[in-house]
Chains A and B, each alone.
Chain A
Amino acid sequence: MGTRRTTSFYVLSFIFAAFLLFLYGPMFCVYLLSFQGPDGGMSFPMRGFSTVWFETLFTAGGRGVGDIHNSFIRSLRLGAIVALLTMLIGVAVGMSFRRRYPGGNFVFYSAIISMIVPGIFVGFGISLTLNMLGMRPQWWYSGIGAQLTWSLPFAMLIMFIILGRMDKAFEEAATDLGATSFQRFQYVILPLILPGVVGMFMAGFTSSYEEAARAGLNIGTGNTMPMELTGLLGAATTPVMFAVGTLTTLFMFTLVIATLLFSTTLTKRRQLRLSSQHA
């Protein structure tokens, strides 16, 4: 604030640095301890460096790792399907709000309710409903459904933001040139919002890959990652849990960075095309 650095700037910088330490400190412990030597335990000091805990994880006789491999595959599969559905349904509902329509308030507030009701109730309610209908939970309907109740409201909000920021002039030009509403969507709106739609896919994936409160009771047989890890928390006695942590973080990093790159490439390419046309 103002033009010169005040004392408050230095005080606040210190607080912010301390906060980052508070956020990162524990995680660096995880990464470091996952390379603990074969005789090391779950806390410091490090007794040598080794990759033995990663090997334990990947060899068949891994002690104390439960069913991590399969739950990872399940989480991946579930996350990908939920992300795809989130993207499609999210774009559709976002487009619907570009006009006022009867029932719009109902749709909007049902999403708000879904966001503010603690997840455990949504999950419990779905499993009770299945129970009353005499059905058993299965990952491909109640599992996916439960995740959608969490990812879709966020997709709707993301659509609000990206459609709100869109320059309406392009669309009006297309209308003036006689484009039908489908052509308008295909050639004007979709290319404009594409980076945001990719972001929505990503948000759908990460939220459902991570989510346990809603899905927990509705997955049926076979855990997903967060459930498997929660189950292992109490039983963990070796750094093998930390190896899992390091690997899943690495996976997430790769995924998010790849998406960001893809998204910026889309934006850049569009800007290049636009500027070359204007030149």
Chain B
Amino acid sequence: MTTYVSPRAASWLQAAPFALIMTCLVLIPLGIIVVVSFMDFGFAEIIPEFYLGNWQDVLRSSLTIDTYVTVFRQLAYVWTITLVLGFTISYYLIFHIRSNIWRAIFLAACAIPFWTSGPIRMISWVPLLGREGLVNQALMGAGLIDQPISWLLYSEFSVIVVYVNMLTMAMAGPIANSMAKISPSVIQAAWDQGATEWQTIVEVIIPLIKPGFVVGTIFIITAVMGDGFLVRAMSGNQVNTPAVAIMNEINAFQFPPAAAKSVVLLVVVLTMVGLLLRFVDIRKELAR
């Protein structure tokens, strides 16, 4: 005595809770940010009147430029390092490790550190990079320096190190996934034609891993551009990025100016991601 439901209605029913959550908790809130950016504000309150002051402040302030220069510099470092490191690791695991079991063990070994909570992974750099940390102790012990290097911790350097520590696998994962899809016969063919290992990498493998490279790059962009916690903790509040500026204003209950800054950052991030997505059919990539 089952009642008949048309396939289309069945799909709608199945997707409804998901679609409802995405609409009410992602799409509408993002719209609200845009709306609030055009509103006036008092102490810890939003005044629902049309007001352009937030936007004038954001667009005229030289601070805006400074924060973007900082975050793009961080992004350039982190992206370059995670890309080279992520590619190297993936290449090693996919093309040099022949046993499936060892490959699985090595992949698991890379994933296990991420079971430790994020803030703890951040603080774990303190005993290494601090003034009395292991790195300074080792350098002094080796006689390379006379006094501890102070810029190892609570500086842009420590921010970059921790980003690389946290994000290399986000780049390596999608790249390894793309590499695993390359048919061994393609590699064998290049090999048989007398290509060196380097030629095979440059002319065969790199062109074929474009999707993984794009997905990994998107992960890095959203993580670095959108993060405020890590930068604040690892720079000791000394480095200012757009996300840190937004978090500071939210903490001070200045919601409309924070909203205006958010819209700018959102447009920047989505433009970058949108440009990248033009190079790859994301839906086709994920379905396989």
The reply to whether A156 and B32 form a contact with Cβ atoms under 8 Å apart is no
Say if the beta carbon of B11 comes within 8 Å of chain A.
yes
Contact with B along A95-125 (1 / 0, CB 8 A): 1110101111011101111101111111011
Which parts of B225-273 form the interface with A (CB within 8 Å)? 225-229, 233, 243, 246-247, 250, 255, 258-259, 262, 265-266, 269-270, 273
Residues of B within 8 A of A25 (CB): 128
- Distance from A39 Cβ to chain B, minimum over Cβ atoms (Å): 15
Q: Given B89, B95, B132, which contacts A19 in the complex, CB threshold below 8 Å?
A: B89
Contact A104 B27, CB 8 Å, known A23-B113, A26-B124: no
The reply to whether B116 and A29 form a contact with Cβ atoms under 8 Å apart is no
Interface residues in B, total, Cβ within 8 A: 91
- Distance from B25 Cβ to chain A, minimum over Cβ atoms (Å): 5
The reply to whether B126 and A2 form a contact with Cβ atoms under 8 Å apart is no
Say if the beta carbon of A230 comes within 8 Å of chain B.
yes
Looking at chain B's contact residues, the main secondary structure is: helix
Q: Given A26, A122, A182, A206, which contacts B125 in the complex, CB threshold below 8 Å?
A: A26
The reply to whether B200 and A1 form a contact with Cβ atoms under 8 Å apart is yes
| Whole-angstrom CA separation of A102 from B11 in the bound complex | 9
The reply to whether A149 and B21 form a contact with Cβ atoms under 8 Å apart is yes
Instruction: Closest A residue to B132 by CB, please name it.
Output: A43
Say if the beta carbon of B96 comes within 8 Å of chain A.
yes
Q: Given A101, A145, A160, which contacts B287 in the complex, CB threshold below 8 Å?
A: A160
Say if the beta carbon of A152 comes within 8 Å of chain B.
yes
| Whole-angstrom CA separation of A121 from B250 in the bound complex | 11
Contact with A along B115-127 (1 / 0, CB 8 A): 1111111111111
Residues of B within 8 A of A132 (CB): 32, 36, 46
- Distance from B10 Cβ to chain A, minimum over Cβ atoms (Å): 8
Contact A248 B22, CB 8 Å, known A15-B88, A104-B11, A125-B33: no
Q: Given A8, A16, A26, which contacts B128 in the complex, CB threshold below 8 Å?
A: A26
Residues of A within 8 A of B96 (CB): 1, 8-9, 12-13
| Whole-angstrom CA separation of A181 from B265 in the bound complex | 46
| Whole-angstrom CA separation of A1 from B191 in the bound complex | 9
The reply to whether B115 and A122 form a contact with Cβ atoms under 8 Å apart is no
Contact A145 B25, CB 8 Å, known A103-B15, A256-B115: yes
Residues of B within 8 A of A106 (CB): 19
Q: Given A9, A108, A111, A117, which contacts B222 in the complex, CB threshold below 8 Å?
A: A117
Contact A1 B25, CB 8 Å, known A26-B165, A107-B18, A245-B124: no
| Whole-angstrom CA separation of A159 from B142 in the bound complex | 53
- Distance from A173 Cβ to chain B, minimum over Cβ atoms (Å): 20
Residues of A within 8 A of B33 (CB): 121, 124-125, 128
Say if the beta carbon of B197 comes within 8 Å of chain A.
yes
Say if the beta carbon of A30 comes within 8 Å of chain B.
yes
7 inter-chain pairs at a CB distance below 8 angstroms, sorted by A residue, are A16-B89, A118-B226, A121-B265, A124-B29, A128-B36, A145-B25, A241-B123
Closest 10 pairs between A and B when the two form their complex, measured CB to CB:
A118-B226, A125-B29, A96-B14, A245-B120, A26-B124, A229-B119, A93-B18, A110-B22, A101-B11, A96-B15
